[in-house]
Amino acid sequence: MHPLQCVLQTQRWGPLASVSWLLLRTCRAHSSVPSTACPSSERQQEDGVQKDFSSRLASGPTFQHFLRSASAPQEKPDMEDPPPYLTVDELLGRQRKVYLETYGCQMNVNDTEIAWSILQKSGYLRTRNLQEADVILLVTCSIREKAEQTIWNRLHQLKALKTKRLRSQVPLRIGILGCMAERLKEEILNREKMVDILAGPDAYRDLPRLLAVAESGQQAANVLLSLDETYADVMPVQTSPSATSAFVSIMRGCDNMCSYCIVPFTRGRERSRPVASILEEVRKLSEQGLKEVTLLGQNVNSFRDSSEVQFNNAASTNLSRGFSTNYKPKQGGLRFAHLLDQVSRVDPEMRIRFTSPHPKDFPDEVLQLIHERDNICKQIHLPAQSGSSRVLEAMRRGYSREAYVELIHHIRESIPGVSLSSDFIAGFCGETEEDHLQTVSLLREVQYNMGFLFAYSMRRKTRAYHRLKDDVPEEVKLRRLEELITVFREEATKANMASVGCTQLVLVEGHSKRSATDLCGRNDGNLKVIFPDVEMEDVNNSEVKVRAQPGDYVLVKITSTSSQTLKGHVLCRTTLKDSSAYC
Ligand code: 5AD
Ligand code: SF4
């Protein structure tokens, strides 16, 4: 008999299908290490747990129960009402030490803290020392093949650690969290027998249960995607006490279905967190003394909080001119302009940024607000992906090159001095040399301050995988990518040169990694600024000389630049309010 005990549930919404499953299988059936490798005390202990567990499992969960617990992510973990095959005690972390490692985007950084917040409440401890960990959790990324390869390589390293640990009292448990768990599901458990836990991006509330199951030597997985999970009530734990900035997740998922992108399949449908809970988190961060929040989401400016019924009849907001969507128009709810307005009022000394937006959702209200409000950074990420209208159509981005360029002009008119960044993909299906040159010319035309450039990586499940041919040879993709990087750098250096001689407001982060005598911070456009750590005046008290600390605002006169960093000398310590007029 196959040792796998698996319950499948399929749920369909629109174009997305998600398979949710909870999976349990015995240690010996899957372990690559012979059972004799287990020390007898541990084996006896495990045998006891296992028999007990197996008998409870046999008499315990029904099919209905699995369906219920599969949709449990929306509920808080209920310690008083554990699933029938676990005791309350087994659901608790019992001071086990968890080591968390994050890969990929800022959403994953935030998700790591959400996962940790949930585990901490369950009695787990966190360790920064891999060697002393009882549980290692990797928060993973699937966006490109290379991102996944990094995880596979890491798993091979961890295998050695786990094998060694099997001889100790507490066996090491390894979990894959996030997009890769969602994309590959049981393929991971089959390929890497040493993985004990799989948790998709919407299943973090289920981690205490998954870990409890893994404790008894079973593999455990929950990869159910949710229509409404936003972890609104889970406040991520601020891990570094000296941190000046934090990420605040405001929405999850994506409905855009760009033809190359795996995100809608790994992170599910778009849903927004209620405004009230976002404001509560921002207020708490302000009380903790943080000076910068970055609002996070896959399509952060498509935000639409429909949780308050009275706002649900509101007319739909206009898309940027010349932009369309792959989905039916959505109506009502509190939109991004409202949220941005509210968030920026919480603390005038707190900088507000947001990422990653979609170019289609930049109505004038948003642009005006960014222009008017001193503490909303004049920095916009506007992922173009390609400079060729033909490729943009194949990518299903919903705009042409012309519409994108018109939007750039409109943004620059609305927010003078705005700093712009973008994402580009080199070598998408069918991209010709002429298409590539169109992208080069867009980079020259816009002159971005920052850029994120990638070679196209075919992802299974996507529309491009099913309908298009990945026909640009790897070496051509890489050559085109190199060309884009070179052009981007040249243009960014030119764009940054305009800052030389200007005085910029910099939020100090700490000492420069390269030199203990220099400080490092970020300007309004999010570029790194390096300057000597010297005494300076404070604008509010000219009597005393001060040294800048992390979290201070200082004025820095820019003296030189490269494509990625600015250098200068510090003039004085100031506040955000007192420094609105510069350059
Ligand atoms: N291949 C290469 N780059 C990709 N991106 C998304 N999917 C792929 C892919 N399959 C890039 C896009 C996106 C950024 C987050 O990653 O540029 O904006
Ligand atoms: Fe992927 Fe497009 Fe959604 Fe961005 S907008 S996450 S590129 S599908």
More confident residue, 204 or 542: 204
Q: Is the pLDDT of residue 21 over 60?
A: no
Provide CB contacts within 8 A for 35, sequence distance 6+. Answer: 28, 43
pLDDT at 331 over 90: no
Kindly report the protein residue whose alpha carbon is nearest to atom 12 of ligand 1: 423
Q: Which residue has the higher pLDDT, 541 or 461?
A: 461
Is the shortest distance between the CB of 386 and ligand 1 below 6 Å? no
Look at 86 and 523; give whichever has higher pLDDT: 523
- Kindly state if the Cβ of 258 falls inside 6 Å of ligand 2: yes
Out of 143, 463, 472, mutate this one to test ligand 1's pocket (max ligand atoms within 8 Å of CB): namely: 143
456 lines ligand 1 (CB under 6 A): yes
Q: What's the pLDDT at 5?
A: 27
Return the pLDDT at 55: 47
pLDDT at 19 over 60: no
Edge-to-edge strand order for the sheet containing 450-455?
379-381, 419-426, 450-455
pLDDT at 414: 97
Given this model, what pLDDT does residue 562 score? 87
CA of 381 to the centre of ligand 1 (A): 14
Specify the higher pLDDT residue, 28 or 554.
554
Half-sphere exposure of residue 405, counting CA atoms within 13 Å on the CB side? 16
Identify which of 46-60, 228-242, 461-475 has the greatest average pLDDT: 461-475
358 lines ligand 2 (CB under 6 A): yes
Please name which ligand lies nearest the alpha carbon of 461. 1
Nearest ligand 1 atom to alpha carbon 462: 10
Mean pLDDT of 416-421: 96
How confident is the model over 66-75, as pLDDT tens digits?
A: 433 444 444 4
With beta carbons less than 8 A apart as the criterion, state whether 192 and 214 touch: no
Q: Is the CB of 261 under 6 A from ligand 2?
A: yes
| Residue 272 bridge partners (DSSP) | 251
CA distance 303 to 579: 30
Predicted confidence (pLDDT) per residue in 244-256, tens digit: 999 999 999 999 9
Cα-Cα-Cα-Cα dihedral of 201, 207, 210, 211, to 10°?
130
- What is the pLDDT confidence band of residue 541, given thresholds at 50, 70 and 90? confident
pLDDT category at 42 given cuts 50, 70, 90 is very low
How confident is the model at residue 348, as a pLDDT?
96
What's the pTM?
Answer: 0.84
pLDDT of residue 311: 64
Cα 104 to ligand 1 centroid, rounded to whole Å: 12
164/173 Cα distance (integer angstroms)? 12
- Going from the Cα of 262 to the center of ligand 2, the distance in angstroms, rounded, reads 8
Which amino acid residue places its CA nearest to atom 2 of ligand 2?
A: 258
pLDDT per residue as tens digits for the range 147-161:
999 999 999 999 989
Distance from residue 446's CA to the centre of ligand 2 (Å):
22
The residue type at 243: A
The Cα–Cα gap between 384 and 387 comes to: 7
Residue 126, token pair as written in the block: 């966190």
> Atom 7 (ligand 1): residue with closest C-alpha?
261
* Structure tokens, 391: 């490729």
The full length of the chain comes to: 583
pLDDT score at 563:
84
| 252 close to 211: Cβ distance less than 8 angstroms | no
b (16+ CB within 10 A) / e for 263-292: bbbbbbbbbbbbbebbbebbeebbeeebbb
Q: What confidence score (pLDDT) does residue 312 get?
A: 63
CA dihedral 74, 79, 82, 88 (to 10 degrees): 150
Ligand 1 atom index nearest CA of 260: 10
Give the residue-averaged pLDDT of 157-170.
81
Q: Which helix (H) or strand (E) holds 389?
A: helix 389-395
Neighbours of 445 (CB within 10 A): 12
Residue 452 alpha carbon to ligand 1 centre in Å: 9
The protein residue with its alpha carbon nearest to ligand 1, atom 16, reads: 143
